[in-house]
Amino acid sequence: MQKYLNNTEETEQFGAELSKIVSSKCLIFLNGDLGAGKTTLVRGFLRAAGFTGAVKSPTYTLVEEYTLGARKVFHFDLYRVSDPEELEWIGIRDYFAQDGVCFIEWPDKGKGFLPEPDSIITLKTEGSGRLLSMEKR
């Protein structure tokens, strides 16, 4: 599936729509260059699920955890990971064992340590907007 997103609001809206259709336990890879809108999409997902606080990219913390009622969301950013083995040190398998939605930015940095995703979303800057591609597995 492909969709053109004209602006930040449409990227957040796609995230909101996604929150209504994904299962309570799934793994979603987010691909795209810096500034492509990966965190913006996650923000839309979280807002639709009832989160009202600040949503920031976990570039330095590696993971941000959100508990929204009975739903858990884990947002990973692997941009600064230099060796996929680092994921073992943060206990990434423990996150996957929980009933939660896991978003992973820069999944290529975790190659060999990440399970197969349920979906892959790719965002590419195109003109003044973004071209979103989503592949369900």
Q: Tokens representing 22?
A: 């994904």
pLDDT in tens, 25-79: 999 999 999 989 999 999 999 999 999 998 988 887 899 999 998 889 999 999 9
Q: What is the pTM of this model?
A: 0.94
pLDDT at 69: 86
For the residues 73-87, what does the mean pLDDT come to? 93
Is residue 13 helix, strand or coil?
helix
Q: Convert the pLDDT of each residue in 92-137 to its tens digit.
A: 999 999 999 999 999 999 998 999 999 999 999 998 899 999 999 8
CATH number for the domain formed by residue range(s) 2-136: 3.40.50.300
The string over 38-73, giving b where at least 16 C-beta atoms fall within 10 Å of a residue's C-beta and e elsewhere, is: bbbbbbbbbbbbebeeebebbeeebbbebeeeebbb
pLDDT at 70 (0 to 100)? 85
